[in-house]
Amino acid sequence: MQIDIITCVPALLDSPFSHSILQRAQDKGIVKVQVHNLREYAVNKHGQVDDYAFGGGAGMVLMLEPIVRCIESLQSRREYSEIIYMSPDGELLDQKMANRLSLLKNIIILCGHYKGVDERVREHLITREISIGNYVLSGGELAAAVLADSIIRLIPGVLSNETSALSDSFQDDLVAPPVYTRPAEFNGWKVPEVLLSGNQKLIDEWREEQSVARTEERRPGLLTS
């Protein structure tokens, strides 16, 4: 899978893909993440990519021409299953959506900034709009990183068996059970006895019970959905 992220502030995306699981996924050749600087497609030599909003009001708007040029240039190189715009009013990201997106071949993620992007981009180029929650960020970059992370870790081969996504929260409409590591006792704080028992059947049953109890307590909506 190739994920192309379009942004006017590429530096904001320097770090998320350069460490840990997401870096390893790229090293293994399972996914390629490329960040594209919208300013390389600017309307003039000053690197202009935004302008005042028609009708007035505070805040700049990302112009459509640089975005059109950038997307067209990417499309001339490969085919994309989705061209996603990160937007607070988009479909809310959840694990099911991440699962579905992880099956796609290539995707473009467009990050808005300032007041957002010229609406005609959304009307004519964007195939899907995704929000990471009902709050407003300064730009789509952090949201794009969240979306890409949620997708990449689900691609087969990215996580090892020990960190398998299948045992994560939401994968089976349950939240994850608690986890512990050494030492087995610290300051009198003990790890549940069953986890030290070596009896895998009992451990699996305990984890299942904990998951269900936690889901009832913290995300009751998941059990009824």
Q: Is 7 exposed, middle or buried (0-12, 13-18, 19+ CB in 10 A)?
A: buried
- Shortest separation between residue 12's beta carbon and ligand SAH, angstroms: 11
Q: Which of 16, 66, 116, 177 lies at the binding interface for ligand SAH (CB under 6 A)?
A: 116
DSSP letters, 172-214, are TSSPPPP---S-SEETTEEPPGGGGS--HHHHHHHHHHHHHHH
Is 33 near ligand SAH (CB under 6 A)? no
| Cβ nearer to ligand SAH, comparing 119 with 208 | 119
Tell the burial category of 143 from Cβ atoms under 10 Å away from its Cβ (0-12, 13-18, 19+): buried
Nearer to ligand SAH, 24 or 115 (CB): 115
One character per residue 125-164, x = contact with ligand SAH (rule: CB under 6 A): ------xxx-xxx-xx--x---------------------
Distance CA 54, CA 51 (A): 9
Question: Which of the 8 DSSP states describes residue 159?
Answer: S
Residue 7 binds to ligand SAH (criterion: CB under 6 A) = no
Query: Cα–Cα distance between 216 and 212 in angstroms, integer?
Result: 6
Q: For residue 152, give the amino acid letter.
A: I
- Out of 35, 38, 111, 159, the only residue in the binding site for ligand SAH (CB under 6 A) is 111
Residue 36 found at the interface with ligand SAH (CB under 6 A):
no
CA atoms within 13 A on the CB side of 127: 9
- Toward ligand SAH, which CB reaches closer, 137 or 191? 137
- In the bound state with ligand SAH, the residue whose beta carbon lies nearer, of 50 and 165, is 50
Sites of contact with ligand SAH (CB under 6 A): 86-89, 111-113, 115-116, 131-133, 135-137, 139-140, 143
